[in-house]
Amino acid sequence: MKFALQINASPYHSSTSFTAYRFACEVIEQEHKIFRIFFYHDGIYHAIKSATPPDDEFSIFSAWQTLAQQNDIDLVVCISAAQRRGLVEENVAQGFRLGGLGQLLEATLLADRFIVFG
């Protein structure tokens, strides 16, 4: 089964981001495919290159990057939401890319299941 996810919540505002990450890990563990994760609204803060959580805390930032790299997942950050919040292309972390609502629409059309977090 093919999944696409949308994450609207900021990384540390609530447990939403970690819940989405654990869900994604479980989907992959069950041998399903996640082909795109779309970061929208405050979810764009997952893609900030300069984010550096304390060493003794779980880094949701690097967790998404590693998961995507190991499982060929497209991490798309909404360009409009990013621009509204001051996130410009040179500040987008490796593994993420800026994209538009066309990628979100495509994800909803191509996925067997589309799930929104936050």
Distance separating alpha carbons of residues 30 and 107, to the nearest angstrom: 20
What's the rounded mean pLDDT across residues 2-31? Answer: 96
Whether 53 shows a pLDDT value over 90: the answer reads no
Q: Going by C-beta distance under 8 Å and a sequence separation of 6 or more, which residues neighbour residue 51?
A: 11, 45, 61, 93
Q: What is the domain count for the chain?
A: 1
What's the domain range around 41? 2-117
What's the rounded mean pLDDT across residues 57-62? Answer: 91
Is 84 or 54 the better-scoring residue by pLDDT? 84
Whole-model pTM? Answer: 0.95
Q: What does the pLDDT read at residue 55?
A: 85
Q: Is-catalytic flag, 25?
A: no
CATH number, domain of 101, equals 3.40.1260.10
Whether 94 shows a pLDDT value over 90: the answer reads yes
Residue from 78, 87, 98, 104 carrying the catalytic annotation: 78
Distance separating alpha carbons of residues 74 and 49, to the nearest angstrom: 17
Whether 90 shows a pLDDT value over 90: the answer reads yes
Whether 12 shows a pLDDT value over 90: the answer reads no
